[in-house]
Amino acid sequence: MRFRYPHAVIPLLSSSSSSNFFTMNTQTLFYSIPFSNLKKPLFPQTHRFQPKRGIFTVFCAKRSSKYPPPPLKTNGYHGASTANVPRPVHLEENNVEMQFAILKKKLEIVGIETGICVPGQYNHLLCPKCQGGDTVEKSLSIYIPPDGGSAAWVCFRGKCGWKGSTQAFAGSSSSYSTAMNQLIPAKKKRQLNEEDLQLEPLCNELVAYFSERLISNETLHRNGVMQRKYDDQIVIAFTYRRNRALISCKYRDINKNFWQEANTEKIFYGLDDIVGESDVIIVEGEMDKLAMEEAGFRNCVSVPDGAPPSVSSKEVPPEEKDAKYQYLWNCKDELKQASRIIIATDGDAPGQALAEELARRIGKEKCWRVRWPKKGKSDDCKDANEVLMYLGPDALKEAIENAELYPIRGLFNFRDYFDEIDAYYHQTLGYDTGLPTGWNNLNGLYNVVPGELTIVTGVPNSGKSEWIDALLCNLNQSAGWKFALCSMENKVREHARKLLEKHMKKPFFNSRYAEDVKRMSLEEYEQGKVWLSDTFYLIRCEDDALPNIKWVLDLAKAAVLRYGVRGLVIDPYNELDHQRSPNQTETEYVSQMLTMIKRFAQHHGCHVWFVAHPRQLQNWNGGAPNLYDISGSAHFINKCDNGIVIHRNRDPEAGPIDQVKVCVRKVRNKVAGTIGEATLSYNRITGEYYEDDR
Ligand SMILES: Nc1ncnc2c1ncn2[C@@H]1O[C@H](COP(=O)(O)OP(=O)(O)OP(=O)(O)O)[C@@H](O)[C@H]1O
């Protein structure tokens, strides 16, 4: 149930700003005209129930006008005159006529016929925008203050809703606000009583109507649900009470048109029921509040105004300016003493927006939310009353008992991730335990996990780039992975040669390094080109500029999204353009850069290999460097998931010079490997690496 547009409405300005008139939200600032103030209802078709007929025909009663009171919407046209005519300093009494004449001209420009308009009173005219619809009703209400200096108007036809204001002279503020205030009645709260409102006990037909919705007579009685007659028709009257005194009254007809007494305080429906309760349930409509009672919950209130279309992007305004949610602020003590607020609004988007607006005001930490059960195979119940009607009171009770903590942005429970954790357990995510490197003796130490960062270091010429290329070829062969390469030191053609040699297992040329091994044939070379193109995407600065990390990551993201790459190589760190701000230390800069890289990796499930050189080693003894030797910052080792040092023997006396040590110095994720060293042998002709079991 939703009260989004009251039945007979006039726009109500916030007292703070009359200019809001043109920008105001129709959801929040429209109030009904009190019927008690009307000689005859604005809309004669307000009467829906005809008690003389049977209940079902009653509810299909023919409208007495073919124009229902549709929602009042603005049509986007705002009639404010923007002419900037300077206002005279003094306005003599006898200038009223002149001022009114100017005003009339302005009104005529926007199409308002001013012939019968008299200052100091309301005038009812034909709306120039809608011409009063088919019935040609005089739906445009215009007020001109006695000084004739301004006018404010609104068309009460819901299909039109045209509204605006103008002034004879710009800056005629007192006259202007008078017009506005007159058009919009002052917000003086009325004192109501059942007698004045002519409320009566519910007739049998309405009791039967509620009973169709599984709301019992006892519940109706306890909640003071009444009726009101208009001529020979009847509408439901929901009485809003505080300390049992009548504060407001909302009416509902069978077509779910709602309107309420104007100039009354906005309070929760059922407010007395939550006093002293530790659990408070908030629903979106009176029917839901009654339904809750049928499920055994009296500690429930309904909001008086229904739901907003969406969550406001603005901060919650201070209490005194938060007009739409006054019903929350005026019972903050009751809400404060409750330990749990269970928000059980409708399951649709406005209902969820309402839940968010309530929770952000109450404090999400004490809020819970309700998920409505399914009513059929696919559809969820919309609200409490639907659950009661389709599934019964026990199901409604269960839904409330199963309320879950209201989500707080950034605060989670493992339960929120169970789908993902299940997939990890069942290993259905793919490679989450790591993709083997292709070298058995290394697989026990290092496996490639999507979304991780591996830092690779080693002294110059140790074969870091060669080993990474060989690893990529293996991963492509075993799992079809594709890669983005940002290899600043490599010429494209040389990089292509190295990759093709590894892939084809043949040298690119017949030159000295190939010894007597035959180069790849032209046909093999052509096949290799296809493979190269399908497997690698190059990130390169086309001019001589150095790429910065953000630029690299943006392109890598494009490569992930466009080509599905699973790995990114950045080789090496010192060839990036390091735009470090003057007040940033290198350590801070490296930390920030690595955070960016890791975020990219995790977000896109893309493994990143980042090559960094060790700083100049004083008195280097030929041994493998340490990860802490990486120039720049200890953050390289601190922040990476995996740290690998590539080291090769260059002393023939110390051992075979094709021997390469892959020193795994850091593995954060034990599922992916452990610290240790594996020895590979390097084939200088093809650039391949083999397990070395010598
Ligand atoms: N184990 C090895 N035995 C002989 N030559 C090797 C070995 N590993 C790599 N090389 C050769 O060393 C050269 C440099 O290799 P690579 O570019 O991979 O080293 P790097 O560590 O990345 O160097 P840099 O730090 O200068 O970028 C290449 O010509 C490569 O063929």
Ligand 1 atom index nearest CA of 498: 31
For the beta sheet containing 453-457, the strands, ordered from the edge strand earlier in sequence to the opposite edge, are 536-538, 483-487, 567-571, 607-611, 453-457, 642-648, 659-667, 676-682, 689-691
- Average pLDDT of the segment spanning 588-595: 93
458 Cβ inside 6 Å of ligand 1: yes
pLDDT of the residue at 343? 98
pLDDT band per the 50, 70, 90 thresholds, residue 119: confident
318 lines ligand 1 (CB under 6 A): no
pLDDT, averaged across the chain: 82
Identity of the residue numbered 217:
N
Cα 450 to Cα 274: distance, rounded to the nearest angstrom:
52
Any ligand 1 atom below 6 A from CB of 662: no
At 415 the pLDDT is: 87
Q: Copy the structure tokens of residue 552.
A: 């690299």
| pLDDT of amino acid 152 | 82
pLDDT reported for residue 177: 56
Answer yes or no: is pLDDT of 56 > 90. Answer: no
> 465 CA distance to ligand 1 centroid (A)?
7
Closest CA to 574 of 489, 470, 453: 489
For ligand 1, is residue 658 a contact (CB within 6 Å)?
A: yes
DSSP notation for 426-452: TT-SSSTT-EE-S-HHHHTTBEE-TT-
Atom of ligand 1 at shortest range from CA of 657: 3
pLDDT digits 0-9 by tens, 293-348: 999 999 999 999 999 999 999 999 999 899 999 999 999 999 999 999 999 999 99
Nearest-CA residue for ligand 1 atom 26 is 460
Asked, as a colleague might, if the bond just before 88 is cis with ω within 30 of 0, I would say: no
Of 249, 282, 267, 285, whose CA–CA distance to 326 is shortest? 267
User: Looking at ligand 1, which residue's alpha carbon is closest to its atom 31?
Assistant: 684
Q: For a substitution probing ligand 1, which of 457, 465, 575 has the most ligand atoms within 8 Å of its CB? A: 465
pLDDT of 61: 29
Distance from the alpha carbon of residue 528 to the mean position of ligand 1, in angstroms = 22
610-624 pLDDT, tens digit each: 999 988 777 778 888
In angstroms, what is the span from residue 629 Cα to ligand 1's centroid?
A: 19
Question: Residue with the nearest Cα to atom 13 of ligand 1?
Answer: 461
Q: Is the CB of 462 under 6 A from ligand 1?
A: yes
pLDDT > 50? residue 19: no
Per-residue confidence band for 190, with pLDDT thresholds at 50, 70 and 90: confident
Nearest atom in ligand 1 to 648's CA: 1
CB of 465 closer than 6 angstroms to any ligand 1 atom = yes
Tokens of 220: 């109706």
Rank 42-51, 137-146, 485-494, 627-636 by mean pLDDT and report only the highest.
485-494
The pLDDT confidence band at residue 219, using thresholds 50, 70 and 90, is very high
pLDDT at 21 over 80: no
Place 180 in a pLDDT band, splitting at 50, 70 and 90. low
CA of 682 to the centre of ligand 1 (A): 10
What's the confidence (pLDDT) of residue 171? Answer: 56
Average of per-residue pLDDT across 557-580: 92
Mean pLDDT of 584-608: 94
CA distances to 107, 174, 175, 325 from 146, in Å: 16, 11, 9, 35
Residue 555 token pair: 């392109």
**Which atom of ligand 1 is nearest to 681's Cα?**
1
617 CA from centroid of ligand 1 (Å):
18
Ligand 1 binding pocket includes 76 (Cβ within 6 Å): no
pLDDT at 52 over 70: no
Name the DSSP letter for residue 381. Answer: P
One-letter amino acid for residue 463 of the chain: G
Position in ligand 1 atom list of the atom nearest CA 489 = 27
2 lines ligand 1 (CB under 6 A): no
Give the model confidence (pLDDT) of 131-153 as tens digits: 888 778 788 888 888 788 888 88
Tens digit of each residue's pLDDT (9 = 90 or more) over 486-514: 998 889 999 999 999 999 999 999 999 99
Does any ligand 1 atom lie closer than 6 A to the CB of residue 574? no
Note the Cα 264 to chain centre separation in Å. Answer: 34
571 lines ligand 1 (CB under 6 A): no
User: Which residue has its alpha carbon closest to ligand 1 atom 6?
Assistant: 463
* Nearest CA, atom 16, ligand 1: 463
The tokens describing 537, both together, are: 């995407």
Q: How far is the CA of 676 from the centre of ligand 1 (A)?
A: 22
